[in-house]
Structures are given as C-alpha cells and as structure tokens.
Structure 1
C-alpha cells in the first residue's frame, strides 16, 4: 500500500523530487562513465599499459563518485523529509507505522533514482567516449583501443544510485523520527573515527620517499578524511565558532541567533562547504607541487604519473559539480522554506532590505566556518607533502588556488541564498504568514 502511495506521490508532485532526480542523474552518469572504463579495459586484445591506466582511473574515481552520489542524494532527501514533517506526522496520526512511512519515503527515492539512472545512460556513453579520447591524446591509452559500454557501467551506475537513494532515504526518515541525542552520538563517534584515520594517513606521508609515484595518495586521502570528520562534527563546531563571533547591529545579532537555532539544519550546507574547500584545495595544490617538482628536475613523467594527474583533475571536477548541486539544492530548499519567518519579521517592522541583510550575514557566517574548517584540513595534507616532495613548508606553485576555491564557494552560497530570499520576500507579508 505504501509503495503504491509512493509512486502516486512522485507522479502527482514531480517538482518536489526534482532536486533528487538531478542528483541521481549526475551520480549515475559519473559512475557509468568510469564504469565504462572498466568495460573498455576488459576488451580482448588490449595492451597491459592501457588496461592498467583505465582500471586505475575507474577504481579511484569510481569510489569517489559512489561516495559523492550518496552525499548528494542524502542532502536533498534530508531537506525533503524535513519539509514534509507535517505530512508525515499526519500520516502517522492516521494510523501509519514508522515502518510504513519508511517504506513510502524509500519507495519514492528509489523510483526517482531509477528514473535518473535510466536518463543518464545516453549522456554517460557520450562522456565516456570523450574521456577515452582524452586518455588516448595524453598517451595513457593507445589509439587502437575501442570504447565499450557494457554491464559494469550499467549495473554499477544504476545499482549504486538505487542503493544510495534507498540508504539515504532510510537514514533521512530515521533521523527525522529518532531522538536527537542518539543521532548526535553516532555522528560524534563517526566524526572522531574519521579524524583519527585522517591524522594517521597524513602522518604516514613522512614514511614515503620524495620520488614515490604514489606519495600524493597519503596526504590527499588524509585531508579528505579529516574534512569528512569536520563535516560530521559540523553542528557543535559551528556552535563554538558562533560563541566567539563579534557581530553588531540588529541584522548581525539576528543572523547569529538564527544560525545557532538552525545549526542542525545548516549542517548539510556546512558539510558541503568543508568537503568542497578541502578536496579542491588539497588536490589542486598537491598536483601543482608535483608538476613544479617534475619540471624542476627535468624528468619525464611516466604513464602512471600522467594517469594520476588526470585522476586528480577529474576528481576535482566531479567534486565541484556535485558540491555545487548539493549547495544549490540545500540552500534553495532551506531558504524558500522560511517564507513564514520572513513574513513575521516584516510584520514586526523589518524591511525587505533588513531581511536580505540578515540572510547575507547568515550566509557569510556559514561560508566563513566552512572555508575555515576546509582550509585547515587541506593545510594538514599540503604541508607534509610539500616537506617531503619539495623540501619546503608551503607551496609557491599554488598561491592562487585557495582564493579561487574560496571565491567559488562564496559565490555559490551567497548567490543562491540571496536570490532565493529575494524571491521569497517579494510575497506579501500577510499572504506569506497565512499560507504557511
């Protein structure tokens, strides 16, 4: 019964699930693109060097892609479930059990994810063929290798997307129905474990030699794990930062109060900012240091080194795309949901300009916190790698990377928040309060 209700819910209200559909579409496309590299590497007659380059890229980026698919779908479903709390409560009071509500939400998510996966097949085939051409032009794969889109790409793309949607929906409903302390304890334990694993991976950088081709892996993975730990511990960390934040004026005071009150709701946005800043900064900076060191030595880069560079750049591109989708979806949903709050502020005497100023201050606080935590975790991976590879403390070859990353993060956060708030504020205050 609940599965039938889920299908009807998706069919009659498709706009509500547009963000989840977009996340599923992009996630399935990414996983299929790199799964097709495994299909291509398994073709008969392919040379070992080409097969190794394709398999290495598929395994590394495919793992990143699967993780990002889950994070992107989880962020959109969490916001969706939170906004439907009144609807879910009404169903529960009408006799629906928690298990039935879970089946309904999971059924909705799986239905949307299946549609996104099927829509992604065509674009994934075109993108995979283009990516193979890039590898062939770079010398990692011989030009005689033909592209193949087979069962690995299809099953991994659709299977990963469906599993991510089902798991994310289950966790979203569980988070909405379970008491906050239980969820907080689990997040704290996982965050502490990620920080410990990240610190160990970063410190293991000093065990490598400067010429090891996989030297970059330890600090990069360590910084990413540290950023995941900070992302999981985002609400308490944000609370501590707010206690030390001096903001004067009515808008500043209200912004700090709103952010403190909505710390749990802003955790997804803050997590996206931390991951984006850390992954983009550490990956691009390490690659810049490596490129500068190779050019200074006059050595010719091996096929593995060129493959690793392509993987790093591809990972950054995927992270940027997914995090931007997560940020825009989460910020749009969270800001548009505050129509009643904005209407009440205006009825109390606030002007539209003051409301927008408060939203801008809130966005600046969240952006500053995310950039700060992401930059610190990225620095934890950059310093050991630079000391081992180049003999210095901070890289000179990547001075422009961090400002560019911060600019993209700030533009996505501030732009989405202000544009959405401006559209919401245009609604007459009485109508906004009455409609909500």
Structure 2
C-alpha cells in the first residue's frame, strides 16, 4: 500500500488544473521579442522545452538573447540583464540562481541568496564570460509561477554530442535520471524522440512539473507557500521540501522505467559510449533503489486516474460542492496564487457523501471545467465525482 504522502502526491496530479503550455509559450515569446531591444546586437532565440511539441507539461521557460559574434558578454549588458530579471521576477528575492560560463567552463552555477552572492556573479562576468544566465520565478498572466532562464550568450553555443554525453554521465552520478531522459530526447531523431517523449509524458511528465513547482514554492515567503500548495491540491501538514522529496523519488523511479522501456531507442543516441553509460546507469540505479526503496505508486499512471481504478476506496471524507462557470481565465488572488473555481460558461453541481479516494466530492481549488454541459453535471451519489476535473481527464 502506498504511503500517505506519496498517494497525496498522486491524487494531486489527478486533480490539478495544469497550466496551458501553448498559451504560456505564446506569452513568453512575446516577452522575449519585446525585451530584445534592451540588448543591441543580440537577438531573441525562441528555444527550450516550452517550445517543443514533444513536451506535454510546462516545467520551465527560456529567454535566450544571442549575439552571433564571438567574444565576452559586456558587463553593461549583464547589468541590464540583471535589471530585467529583477523586473520580470518582481524583485530580487525571486532571483534564485545564476550560471556563468567561459569557453565551455562553468565559472559559477549556484543559488543566489544574498547580495554577496550576486557580487560574486558580477565579478566573474567582469573577468570575462560568453554565457551568463539568471534564473528566477516568473508569474504568468494565468497566475502560475514558472522558472525562467534569462540568458545572454555570444557566438554559436549549440552543445556538442560529446558534451551532452558527458553531462548525461554527470546527471547519472547525481542520481538525476529524469534529467537524463530530458537530455537524451534532444539527441534523438524524430521517430525515437516521439517514442521517448510519449513514454515520459505518460509516466513522469506531470511529476516533473510538480517537482519544479515545489522548488519554486520552497523559495516563496512563508505566507505565500500554503495558498500555493493548496492550489497544487496538496493538503496542509507538510513543508514544500517534504512534498518535493516525495514527488522527486517517484519521478526518478518513473525515469528509470522510461529509460528501460526505451532502451533500444536510447542506445542509438549513446553510440560508441553506450557500454560506459549503461554500466553507470546500472550501478547508480542500484544505489538509488537501495536508498529510496521501491516506488510507492507502482502501476498508477495519469492515463488511469486513481478515482477510476479504485472508486471510492480510500480515506473517508464528506463533502459537497457547487460551481458556477465564469470565464476560463486563471485569475490571481491577493496572495499571488491562481484563484479558485473559474471555469467555462455554465453551471454544474456535484454532491457526494464520500469523495473520490475519500476526498470531498467537490475539490476546492480546481477549475470548474468538465463538470457538465449547460448546467447538467451531477456527480454520482457516492461522490465518485469527476466534478471539477480538467476536461479530458
């Protein structure tokens, strides 16, 4: 039987009103094109996972400003990048980390917590670098928070295959198997990329989205953390770090399953280093399994929601709910978390003594999509309640 924390994570994945990835990409492209005027000689490059048709879930976004000429980033341009970051991230407190690279060598790649940390970053920039990245928490118009990388880079910075494989080995060493999946995807031909992406979208994409969200929550002020955790459908009683640890363990389990499922496809990307990388995966996966134990959610997928598989079994709870649809915007409440209960036009009601999995039949905080057309949306008497689920689930 799954541990309560792990099962709460999985239930949250079933109930969560995921952000619209296409809308987020359209918005971020507009921001990138608008801001490139700040950096004469640089052009905005619309790249990253947010732009990829193979990626189902929004996890992060990239705003890359590239100058084709070689050389170092001008410190004045970096100061302008810092000014842009403070504005887009709504203050210095939401600027979380920096990465400075010169000639392929990482000079700095750490979190930023103090003014001294930022001063150290500026020192490296003045000494000379050709890539400078500032990462922080950006709030989309929908109210969702998303990590954004703001990057200035000089020259062609497409990563070589040898470097990608070196970084895959580094990720394996760190037991970050989910990052291995992400890196390998970018190395595959379209057919292989589609197969790997489909497996990851089914098995681990939503978990990676949640882990990324929880990393952002852990850096929020305490007064903002619980409202946002509630929007993520996670009940009170645990810290963002505890939720992140539980979700990350399951995410890494799913990554190992996907790597095993797509082994033949992935081996093509590893080429003549396949033996070296598979040996490392075998060794490090055993270390991970010995410390993390087995998956607490084995057999559960987003394609087979918990409520459909187990009906009303689970922790007991009573609840009823009504929801009136307004427009389909994700309005922002006074504490910065997306507001609750918006939905498409129409009315719907759901009542139940025992909600799905023991939860109330009406799940507060979920958009009122998909609970009936034109007011005809009654959930079953026993509250198996698909009430409030995003349409299509």
**How does the TM-score come out when normalised to structure 2?**
0.27
Question: Greater CA radius of gyration, 1 or 2?
Answer: 1
Structure 1 or 2: larger helix share? 1
Bigger RCO (CA 8 Å, 6+ sep): 1
**How does the TM-score come out when normalised to structure 1?**
0.25
